Amino acid sequence: KIDSVGIRNGGLIGTISSRTTLTNSYYDGVKTQIVPSKTADVSRLTTAMKTLDNYEGWDFEEIWTIQEGESYPYLRKLSKPSAVEEGLPEEEVAGGKGTAEDPYIIMTKDQLNNMRYEIKAYYRLGNDIDLDEEEWEPVGNSSMPFSGTLDGNGYSISNLHINKGTVDYVGLMAYTNNADFRNIKIDDISVSGKNYVGALVGYAKGVNLFSNICIGSGEINATSYIGGLAGLIEGGNVEYSSTEVNIVATSSYGGGLIGHSRTDISKSVAFGKVAVTSNYAGGLVGYIASNNIIAESYATGDITGNAYIGGLVGRVYANGAKIENCFALGKATGRESSPYTGGLLGQAYSSSTTAPVNVNNCYSAGIVNATGTTAGGLIGQNSNTLITSSYFDSTNTDIDTPEAQAKDTSALMDTATLIGWDFDEVWDIEEEESYPFLRVLPVPQHDNMPNRLNPVWLKIAKVTSRSVELTWKPVPEADYYDISLDGEIIATVEEVGFLHADIEPGKLYQYRVRARNNELVSSWTPTLKVITLLDTPDNVRVERVEEGYKITWDDVYKTVVYDIEINGIIVDSTTSTSYIHTTPPFGSQNIYRIRARNHQINSRWSSIQHQLHWIENLSGVSITAVNWVTDTSKESEVEFIIKAKGEDIYTILLDLVYDPRKLKLIPESMENLVQDSDIYYHVVSKRNSGRIKILISRTGDIRGKNGELDLIRVKFSLKSRDMTKLEIPQAKLVNSYGEYISIQDISSLNVRILPEFELFQEE
């Protein structure tokens, strides 16, 4: 641990000049308790510091060594310091390696706090976390932003309390850059800061993803740039997210979801109130400053401020921005005599006639509490704005112009008014009883909205050639789920899933699901279109022919063309049910699969067929795989056998080369398969180069082996889905007389996961 007061301290370097180069150097942030604050602070969690793969460019052959999972690296030629393994932090995470395939698992608030020590890693919650109203220190800063991934995994973070009224960049995350947030719930929120303040993120720079984020009740207070989700988002996408928290800004830029936005927003909602003392307040977004889109979203909270006040967005100030299929229900109140206040948008402004702001299929139904020429039922003031099929409820205001937009309450409950609106996939309505509402979002509580169950989030669980399996999360208070196929209800189930079996291959099926109980129903989901797979090619056979190897298979119904995969690479396509692989390299193991496809869909890959290509009277060495990985497991094992062919093979010397970034050797799997022989091997592994030097020799005054023989068995675990190779760059076979046996060039073996299904994509 480093004990230091002041700004010139660090886990590696206290202060660094522009003439200093820092490469592949790290420190244990958990151990030192030094939070990264400058580029020289390359901090890792203790788990990462004990993992060989994280030390790019380090020489673990001659200089360094490590006991993975137990120690830091230490120098080979010096005595091992006790500090590299004694007294190290334990359980700083609950598991994982911090990679996309194997993220760090977080189970406690202390482990959540440790994210600040490795800001580029992948994290996933494994438990609900209660912060116990303890003061939370936001993660990341403008110099060292959080650039990793946090997957809430459906769990919640509760009692988030931050009191930093004089500090910029405040939230669970202070500052992010190209970060990814998914499936996160934050409840019981009390956050205060100065500028750029949100429950999840204060300032999000770069391209960030926010998906399925739920911000619960509470209050956020700040001066400017304040939102329930984030204070400012520069770019990326926000989808399927909601906020309930109330927003209070003593100056400007307040939004129920985002204060200042340069990002696309879809299928998101804000329920909280927004109050700013000065300008730019919106139920969903305070200010939009780029040509992004807001689609299928709404806001219900009341909004107050001086100027640029909108039920959905305070100000849209961007050429080409789009607001589509949105609505607002909250009361919009502006204080100045020229307030730019509107039920949907306070102002919509574009400086270009060729790139107008587009407002399509939207409505507002809240009270507009403002007067003057820049107060409007839909939009307070607009310039170069194209408004299409968008309306406001004139019954709720004293505003009755423009006439094309002003509709009384009954007209907004009539689909005849809503020309061009998609009531099949996007909108729903109870004619003459309710305003329109969005199918994919919960129906808001309102006098002119129906009492509906929350919508079903319908997904495909699995598709085969003869079945479709659907799944969804439970809907609160739902007892049953109706399943509709092509417009007709085919089943009602209590479970959260449905298997549609015994159906036709290569056919389009259109599903909808709704939740219900004895009193209430939800909207039908938007149509989920599924095309069943083609049948998998069967009876795949490989036979030796004069030209090479002939692969044949049975014809598949509805197939237009067949893809031919050899050694993990698609080499050709054919309309025939046979293919000839000509002149494969000597000693190569060739792995064959066939896939059927047409213009809509394809099949799964066929079962694997393989052939080892020897030629009579020629000697050589070959690498062969015993099994193949067809799923996407993180580290699935593959077994290989190295073979040789020749006469009187007595001694074998060879090097087996692999990429340790993609293949992890399992040393205990090494097995000598030659009877009456001894084996000697040495493993040399650097970060990007692994080599096994192998010597096998028969013992005693006996003859060598004749024909094809298995030399050695070895296993690797796959660490990557990318293609890699096993190679033998050099090998020598020696007979019992001590003479070299002439051998052919040795073929490498492609190694990768071979998924059972890969959707064909045109290049």
Tell me which H or E stretch contains 724: strand 724-726
How many C-beta neighbours within 10 Å does residue 555 have? Answer: 12
Domains of the chain: 1-110 (no CATH), 459-531 (2.60.40.10), 541-612 (2.60.40.10), 620-751 (2.60.40.680)
Q: Pairing relation of β-strands 690-698 and 731-734?
A: unpaired
Q: CA angle, 535 as apex, 503 and 561 as ends, to 5°?
A: 130
Distance, in Å, from the CA atom of 59 to the CA atom of 79, rounded to the nearest integer, reads 17
Dihedrals phi, psi of 194, to nearest 5 degrees: -95, -80
How far apart CA 704 and CA 736 sit, in angstroms, is 6
Measured in whole angstroms, the distance separating CA 409 from the mean position of its chain's CA atoms is 42
pLDDT value at position 9?
76
Rounded Cα gap, residues 427 and 423, in angstroms: 5
CB of 202 within 8 A of CB of 231?
yes
pLDDT digits over 64-117, tens only? 999 989 999 999 999 999 999 999 999 999 999 999 989 999 999 999 999 999
In terms of Cβ atoms closer than 10 Å to its own Cβ (0-12, 13-18, 19+), residue 281 is: buried
Q: For residue 15, with 0-12 CB atoms within 10 Å meaning exposed, 13-18 middle and 19 or more buried, which class applies?
A: exposed
Please count the residues of the chain. Answer: 763
Residue 261 confidence (pLDDT): 98
CA distance 266 to 264: 7
**Look-up of token digits 């830091």:** 72
pLDDT at 72: 96
Q: Give how far the C-alpha of residue 642 lies from the chain's centroid of Cα atoms, to the nearest Å.
A: 38
Are 413 and 433 a contacting pair, CB within 8 Å? Answer: yes
Pairing of strands 269-270, 293-299: parallel
Backbone angles phi, psi at 396, to 5 degrees: -85, -5
- Please give, one letter per residue, the 3-state secondary structure of 366-396: CCEECCCCCEECCEEEEECEEEECCEEEHHH
Provide the CA 612 distance to its chain's centre, in angstroms: 40
What residue type is assigned to position 542 of the chain?
Answer: V
Q: Could you give the CA distance from residue 350 to residue 385 in angstroms, rounded to a whole number?
A: 7
Q: Note the pLDDT of residue 15.
A: 78
Distances (CA, A) of 148 to 145, 157, 177, 212, 634: 9, 18, 8, 17, 19
For the four alpha carbons of 321, 382, 223 and 258, in that order, the dihedral sign comes to negative
Distance, CA of 424 to chain centre: 29
Query: Which token pair is 691?
Result: 């080599």
SS3 682: strand
β-strand partners of 295: 266, 324
CB 645 within 8 A of CB 613: no
Q: How many CB atoms lie within 10 A of CB 78?
A: 7
Give the rounded distance of the alpha carbon of 601 from its chain centre. 24
Give ∠ CA 406-410-414 in degrees, rounded to 5: 95
Sign, CA torsion 29/187/223/288? positive
| Element housing 30 (H / E) | helix 29-32
CA 452 to chain CA centroid, nearest Å: 31
Q: Copy the structure tokens of residue 633.
A: 């497991």
Contact 612, 622 (CB under 8 A): yes
Residue 289 contacts residue 315 (beta carbons within 8 Å)? no
pLDDT value of position 762: 66
Query: Do 658 and 693 contact (CB within 8 A), yes or no?
Result: no
Which residues, 6+ apart, have CB-to-CB distance to 86 below 8 Å? none
Secondary structure class of 29 (helix, strand, coil) = helix
Residue 170 has what DSSP assignment?
A: B
pLDDT the model gives residue 635:
60
Residue 700, token pair as written in the block: 């005693």
Does residue 402 have a cis peptide bond before it, meaning omega lies within 30 degrees of 0? Answer: yes
Question: What are the CA-CA distances from residue 207 to residues 25, 236, 263 (Å)?
Answer: 27, 4, 9
- Report the alpha-carbon distance of residue 251 to residue 105 in Å, rounded: 39
Considering only CA atoms, which of 458, 460, 459, 420 is closest in space to residue 436? Answer: 420
- The pLDDT score that the predictor gives to residue 3 is 62
- Judge whether 637 and 715 are in contact, CB under 8 Å: yes
- Residues in the chain, pLDDT under 50: none
DSSP state of 727: B
Give the torsion sign (CA, 114, 119, 125, 128): positive
Measuring CA to CA, which residue among 151, 134, 210, 152 is closest to residue 176?
Answer: 210
